Structure 1
Amino acid sequence: MTAVTDRDRDHAGDRWDDGFIARSRNRAGRKGGPRGSGARAGDALIDDALLDAALLAGGLDDEAADGADGRRDGAGTEDDDGGDEAIVRAVSGAGSDGGKAPAPPLSPEAQALRTRLDALRQLVGLSRTRLDGKTLAEAGRVLDEAAARRGLSPQHTVVAIAGATGSGKSTLFNSLAGVQISETGLRRPTTAAPIACSWSDGAAGLLDRLEIPGRLRRRPRETPEAEALRGMVLVDLPDLDSALGAHREHVDRVLALVDAVVWVVDPEKYADAVLHERYLRPLAGHAEVTFVVLNQVDRLPGDAADLVLDDLRRLLDDDGIALGEHGEPGATVLGLSALTGEGVGELRELLGQFTQEKGAATRRISADVDRAALRLRPLYVADGHSGPSGPEIGEAARAEFEDRLAEAVGAYAAGLAAERAWRRNAGKACGTPWLRLWRWYESRRAPRSLASLALMSAKGRGSGTAAAAPPEEEVTARQRVEQAVRTVADEAVVGLPDPWAQAVRETAVRGAERLPEALDELAVTLGAAVAVPGAKPPRPAWWPVAVLAQAAMTLVQIFGGLWLVGQIVGVLEPKLLPPVLFMVAGIVGGPLVEWTCSIAARGPARRYGQDAERRLRQAAAGCGRARVLEPVAAELLRYREVREQYAAVAAGGTKLSTTRQ
């Protein structure tokens, strides 16, 4: 029950006491004068209750409320009816559509901010699996705070007054409010918790976001000067250099949520290192929503105030804060005395103009995005490579990678083997029978020789004279594959920031884990077929003619030999010359046909070998593309996408290159 009562009291302090009671008192003192009869007063109270209900429901804005008050407080019945109709429309609207008024069109600045926030959201989503979560925490916080602020009242501007101990910020706060709200005194620290003063209704959500309870929410004195600040919510913060850690936590928390900050410094501590190093320098990019006030200028004699202001401007420039001078956007610097009122009117006028522009929240969020983009820059932009296109694998790198894989799989050797196999097959078909018999005899001896070599190798391994390591060719092939992957990865990461370069290298290594084995399978299925001695390459059309010619030469030799034998045994008439000519023609013609066929077979054999090399090279290149190049290209495409999104986030951040972290 206690917690519920406290929470209700906190909300009541803003929405009921500051709303209903203050407006009731104001209405009683307006030009309408005192209420007439008891019934008329009762009607007025009912009207007030309806108006407050509409305001709390969000269906009637401040201007409509003032118009309804003015019409109701007037003397005529027509005005009363008009006020009643306004209240009825507000209450009906609150009940029919949830009290949400049509959203006004966005300004170009707000539209640009929305585009940048959408790009930042996509940037975080695309980078979540590639970068450390802590690295993206700042961007995520900016998105969360931007969504929270954009969901609250755009008609209000939240301005915090911050300063060190004894700077007089509470006195300035009271001077702007026109009433003693924040406690002042010699006791330090004086302000223990943030205190808010709202110049108009409808800021409860903003104050809830700042975690300012209802008992610390106040209203200013209603004066003609106060109308200029309508829509502003002023927050007095504890001392930023307080000895109590809770006070500094309040300062840091609220400064991260407000739309603008008025820094109050005094002539003694305007160069304090805590102020400049911990607050002003990190927030240098927020110059357009920053006011720096030199308070207590009444204590400075003569031209000392101008000298101190000049030195303060110099320090701010060293902090990287752009000064709004000569019509340029930047921080506002001025001197005043909250105690005597000197310069307070000028500050009130500047704050009023700043509030009426209703762009402080947009500029604050835009500055937060600038700051997040600056911190994310090393993750997306490498030194000397600020273009949005990003790197890619060039044709030369691809060709070199494919050449290395072809060497690793032995494509060139397989092509030579295929060429030799084609020529060997041509020799079998077109060679003389005697040469074919000799080759057959050699093939019969080859298995015995291989068996002897295998036995000797086994004996050598048993005696320790030979190593049991894999063949040198296999080791060399694997090393070539690894070298090819490293080379193409190094080529691909040129111009990439370190996190994305590491991601590309890891992708290439993962794709190359089974690449040597896959290349071995290709070598077995494609290369071995053409390298086996028993392989049958395709024959050209002229081979039958060559085979018939070789058979004819063989028959001529046999015919001449039989003729000569018949003459020797006396069966045939002895004529030595004709059979000798036949035998010489067959003996010379057979090798001549074989030599002619070998000459003619060079071109087809070379083309056959080149075709076999090309097929194996293409297969190896396809395997390398599927396992290494395509994943690496996909990773580079993802980087180009995030690089484009980062360019959209950084667009409009004019101070990205100059603002200091």
Structure 2
Amino acid sequence: MEGAENATEPGKSGKFAKFMKPAKFMKSVKSEESGEPREPDEAVESEEPHEGPESVAFEPAPDEPGGSAGGWDDGLIARRAGGKGSPDGLSGVDGLDGGPGDGSDESEAHTPIGGAYGGSLRVRLDALGELVGLSRTRLEGSVLAEAGRVLDEASARQRLSSRHTVVAIAGATGSGKSTLFNALAEVPISETGLRRPTTSAPIACVWSEGAAGLLDRLAIPGRLRRKPLAGGDGDEELHGLVLVDLPDHDSAVVRHREQVDRVLALVDAVIWVVDPEKYADAALHERYLRPLAGHAEITFIVLNQIDRLPGDAADQVLDDLRRLLDEDGMALGEHGEPGATVLAVSALSGHGVGELRELLGRFVQERNAAERRLSADVDAAAWRLRSAYVAEGRAGLGERSREQFADRLAWAVGAVAAGEAAERAWRRNAGRACGTPWLRLWRWYESTRMPGGQTSRPPETAEEELTARQRVEQAVRTVAEEASAGLPAPWAHSVREAAARGAEGLPEALDELALTAATPSSRPPRPTWWPAAVLAQASMTLLQIYGALWLVGQIIGVLEPGLLPPVLVMLAGIVGGPFVEWACGAAAMGPARRYGQDAERRLREAAAACGRARVLDPISAELMRYREVREQYVTVSRSGG
């Protein structure tokens, strides 16, 4: 319908007639040096084919004002006579002319946004950068790709003009977006017609100087950069606007759709042009409006061709369009609330175009569209990263989990058994020191019967060793599962990997600890009462010997007969010796138990320290890193969830 609109639009043929005659136009261009009119044959025609009045384009000679020597080479640019710039009143697109005498402040034209990224946006961008840096070795590159793209685009946009707002006009085939583009520029810049697709490449219209970097970023060549007819630099209403007409997003040509997607990712705002026939098109809503619902504040939805709707049908279609946008999740800027702007226009009759120009003017003069676009991009990136940073519960390694892990390692290393063995060794040593000489002699005799002079000890079987290793592995798996419970999948995987790396060689280290920490370097210490006990035991032994000698002396007749006294003395020694041994054993129970407990504690602490250094500390480091990135994510997402 774009061709029909151009064909029947009233009053346009006379208004633009002076721009449709190439020869007459070129005769009005004078040489900068001589001031004499140049001949038409000196002009260089554009590469664009002549398909109608709108496609006529020229490039001035290099020595002309505004030519390549002056900095612009973008073909026929709609200009207003009498404007600032060259002596003949012609001016080129900003940044392309850029030469002296163009009436623009060079330093102002290249003022970057720089400090404009202040406040919450700067904080969020810094947090996003920290988030990506801390997560690069933990998450896959595809997960962080969108966040990296947002940071790159933020950096690129910051280096470009902050005085300009890039607004793209997008729409489906036949929606009339090119006609609306021309209506806003008030000059037939973008080609319209019945042939589909009509627009094959993005075309830009710039209302003020200094936007060359932005257009270079969009990869729009100089021959497709234009200026409006009526406004020029004096049109304060749209001063700073860079309007881009895109190819059809539903074009049958794949390259056209790719250009639409590329440019939409770079512009500051977008005007979606829909018509009464395709406003509910699933491709538009599912591919663009729904994914970009978070960019509502920089989105304009224009229902075009309302002159085709009879009566109150336009209001009904507009209400249905609002309903569809609400289902897409796109907030509508009504009643003072931030959101998308929805209005009805007719680019053919001009109805609503003035209101759209006024809205665009206010939007451009706020000069914060780039920040709002980046803020929405950060929101979208944060939402995509949510599953990688938001835990289902309270993640961490509690004190109870640490204690249970230490208990499992102590059990695996045999700390309890080692304590019991140390207690038995202490009591056995006490028995050797305080026992009767006859019992000690018997024990010595028994020890001499064994090879090496020591009692045999059954070797540890392979089954017991395997069981200890399995206990260690089970302890590591259990603490890793407890620490990673509720964490997002990538971080839970990192915690389990850290635990698995630490578990390598842990059983061997615990075995070495069992030998060094549990086995005492010397005999168990003796209490202070042991010498008295030894003296008492020696006295009992002497009584036995004295009584026995006394009795023998009586038997052989050396001593006077008297059976009772030597028997009593010998009996006192015989009974006193075991009694002293029993008393010493009872007195040794407490110290022996404490000695065993101390041995168990040493082995338990050594096993816990080994497990902490090899397993718990790496797990804690991963959890600390997760808490750091979680804090950065909360800053990026501007929420506590």
Task: Determine if the TM-score, normalized by the shorter chain, exceeds 0.5.
Answer: yes
Give the 3-state SS of the residue equivalent to 2:167 in structure 1: strand
2:135 counterpart of 1:114: no
| % same residue | 70
Cα distance, 1:193 vs structure 2 = 0.4
Alignment deviations for residues 270-305 of structure 1 (CA, whole Å, 9 cap, x no partner): 111111111111111100000000000000000000
- CA separation of 1:612 and 1:356: change in aligned 2, threshold 3 A: same
Alignment deviations for residues 326-362 of structure 1 (CA, whole Å, 9 cap, x no partner): 1100000000100000000000000000000011100
Provide the C-alpha distance between the structure 2 equivalents of 1:590 and 1:436, rounded to a whole number of angstroms. Answer: 12
Provide the C-alpha distance between the structure 2 equivalents of 1:242 and 1:426, rounded to a whole number of angstroms. Answer: 98
Alignment deviations for residues 66-100 of structure 1 (CA, whole Å, 9 cap, x no partner): xxxxxxxxxxxxxxxxxxxxxxxxxxxxxxxxx76
Task: Name the amino acid aligned to 1:209.
Answer: R
- CA separation of 1:346 and 1:159: change in aligned 2, threshold 3 A: same
Unaligned runs of 5+ in 1: 1-5, 35-47, 62-98, 458-468
Give the 3-state SS of the residue equivalent to 1:160 in structure 2: strand
- CA separation of 1:485 and 1:431: change in aligned 2, threshold 3 A: same
Alignment deviations for residues 181-234 of structure 1 (CA, whole Å, 9 cap, x no partner): 001111111111000000000000000000001110000123499420111000
Alignment deviations for residues 414-446 of structure 1 (CA, whole Å, 9 cap, x no partner): 001100000000000000001111111221233
Residue in 1 that maps onto 2:191: 183
Give the 3-state SS of the residue equivalent to 2:410 in structure 1: helix
- CA separation of 1:253 and 1:141: change in aligned 2, threshold 3 A: same
Alignment deviations for residues 120-161 of structure 1 (CA, whole Å, 9 cap, x no partner): 111111111011111111111111111101111111000000
- CA separation of 1:391 and 1:379: change in aligned 2, threshold 3 A: same
- Alpha-carbon contact 2:401-2:482 (below 8 Å) kept: yes
Residue in 2 that maps onto 1:638: 625
Task: Name the amino acid aligned to 2:83.
Answer: N
1:246 to 255, 260, 275: 255
Alignment deviations for residues 610-643 of structure 1 (CA, whole Å, 9 cap, x no partner): 0000001000000000000000000000000011
Give the 3-state SS of the residue equivalent to 1:186 in structure 2: coil
Unaligned runs of 5+ in 2: 1-58, 90-97
Give the 3-state SS of the residue equivalent to 2:72 in structure 1: helix
1:193 to 194, 201, 205: 201
Provide the C-alpha distance between the structure 1 equivalents of 2:330 and 2:69, rounded to a whole number of angstroms. Answer: 38
Residue in 2 that maps onto 1:494: 485
Provide the C-alpha distance between the structure 2 equivalents of 1:16 and 1:307, rounded to a whole number of angstroms. Answer: 47
- CA separation of 1:60 and 1:644: change in aligned 2, threshold 3 A: closer
- CA separation of 1:27 and 1:432: change in aligned 2, threshold 3 A: closer
2:597 counterpart of 1:588: no
Provide the C-alpha distance between the structure 2 equivalents of 1:305 and 1:604, rounded to a whole number of angstroms. Answer: 98
Alignment deviations for residues 434-487 of structure 1 (CA, whole Å, 9 cap, x no partner): 111111122123339999999xx9xxxxxxxxxxx9522211111111111111
Provide the C-alpha distance between the structure 1 equivalents of 2:573 and 2:463, rounded to a whole number of angstroms. Answer: 49
Provide the C-alpha distance between the structure 1 equivalents of 2:611 and 2:196, rounded to a whole number of angstroms. Answer: 72
Provide the C-alpha distance between the structure 1 equivalents of 2:78 and 2:69, rounded to a whole number of angstroms. Answer: 10
- Alpha-carbon contact 2:86-2:102 (below 8 Å) kept: no
- CA separation of 1:132 and 1:11: change in aligned 2, threshold 3 A: farther
Provide the C-alpha distance between the structure 2 equivalents of 1:13 and 1:546, rounded to a whole number of angstroms. Answer: 116
2:405 to 401, 407, 416: 401
Task: Name the amino acid aligned to 1:50.
Answer: P
Provide the C-alpha distance between the structure 1 equivalents of 2:221 and 2:396, rounded to a whole number of angstroms. Answer: 56
Task: Name the amino acid aligned to 1:572.
Answer: L
2:372 to 363, 381, 389: 363
* TM-score, length-scaled by structure 1: 0.81
1:414 to 418, 423, 429: 418
Matches for 1:463-478 after TM superposition, within 5 Å: 470-478=461-469
Matches for 1:541-620 after TM superposition, within 5 Å: 541-620=528-607
- CA separation of 1:28 and 1:585: change in aligned 2, threshold 3 A: closer
Give the 3-state SS of the residue equivalent to 1:527 in structure 2: coil
- Alpha-carbon contact 1:18-1:219 (below 8 Å) kept: no
Provide the C-alpha distance between the structure 1 equivalents of 2:294 and 2:609, rounded to a whole number of angstroms. Answer: 51
Provide the C-alpha distance between the structure 1 equivalents of 2:279 and 2:111, rounded to a whole number of angstroms. Answer: 46
Residue in 1 that maps onto 2:388: 379
- CA separation of 1:200 and 1:585: change in aligned 2, threshold 3 A: same
Residue in 1 that maps onto 2:447: 443
Q: CA RMSD in A?
A: 2.9
- CA separation of 1:28 and 1:370: change in aligned 2, threshold 3 A: closer
Give the 3-state SS of the residue equivalent to 2:449 in structure 1: helix
- Alpha-carbon contact 1:13-1:214 (below 8 Å) kept: no
Give the 3-state SS of the residue equivalent to 1:233 in structure 2: strand
Residue in 1 that maps onto 2:18: none
2:348 to 339, 344, 367: 339
Residue in 1 that maps onto 2:510: 519
1:50 to 100, 105, 109: 100
Residue in 2 that maps onto 1:309: 318
Provide the C-alpha distance between the structure 2 equivalents of 1:493 and 1:413, rounded to a whole number of angstroms. Answer: 32
Residue in 2 that maps onto 1:59: 107
Cα distance, 1:526 vs structure 2 = 2.1
Provide the C-alpha distance between the structure 2 equivalents of 1:303 and 1:119, rounded to a whole number of angstroms. Answer: 50
Provide the C-alpha distance between the structure 1 equivalents of 2:289 and 2:121, rounded to a whole number of angstroms. Answer: 23
Provide the C-alpha distance between the structure 2 equivalents of 1:564 and 1:578, rounded to a whole number of angstroms. Answer: 9
Provide the C-alpha distance between the structure 1 equivalents of 2:497 and 2:115, rounded to a whole number of angstroms. Answer: 47
- Alpha-carbon contact 1:296-1:338 (below 8 Å) kept: yes
- Alpha-carbon contact 1:297-1:335 (below 8 Å) kept: yes
- CA separation of 1:277 and 1:393: change in aligned 2, threshold 3 A: same
Matches for 1:313-332 after TM superposition, within 5 Å: 313-332=322-341
Provide the C-alpha distance between the structure 1 equivalents of 2:539 and 2:187, rounded to a whole number of angstroms. Answer: 129
Task: Name the amino acid aligned to 1:149.
Answer: R
- CA separation of 1:282 and 1:334: change in aligned 2, threshold 3 A: same
Provide the C-alpha distance between the structure 2 equivalents of 1:524 and 1:29, rounded to a whole number of angstroms. Answer: 95
1:172 to 172, 177, 180: 180
- Alpha-carbon contact 2:550-2:566 (below 8 Å) kept: yes
Residue in 2 that maps onto 1:160: 168
Provide the C-alpha distance between the structure 2 equivalents of 1:117 and 1:191, rounded to a whole number of angstroms. Answer: 36
Provide the C-alpha distance between the structure 2 equivalents of 1:453 and 1:496, rounded to a whole number of angstroms. Answer: 49
Provide the C-alpha distance between the structure 1 equivalents of 2:375 and 2:127, rounded to a whole number of angstroms. Answer: 13
- CA separation of 1:147 and 1:60: change in aligned 2, threshold 3 A: closer
Cα distance, 1:528 vs structure 2 = 3.6
Task: Name the amino acid aligned to 1:562.
Answer: L
Provide the C-alpha distance between the structure 2 equivalents of 1:49 and 1:574, rounded to a whole number of angstroms. Answer: 145
- Alpha-carbon contact 2:295-2:376 (below 8 Å) kept: yes
Task: Name the amino acid aligned to 1:516.
Answer: P
2:486 counterpart of 1:508: no
Give the 3-state SS of the residue equivalent to 1:16 in structure 2: coil
Provide the C-alpha distance between the structure 1 equivalents of 2:359 and 2:580, rounded to a whole number of angstroms. Answer: 108
Residue in 1 that maps onto 2:431: 427
Larger relative CO (CA 8 A, sep 6+): 1 or 2? 1
- CA separation of 1:323 and 1:28: change in aligned 2, threshold 3 A: closer
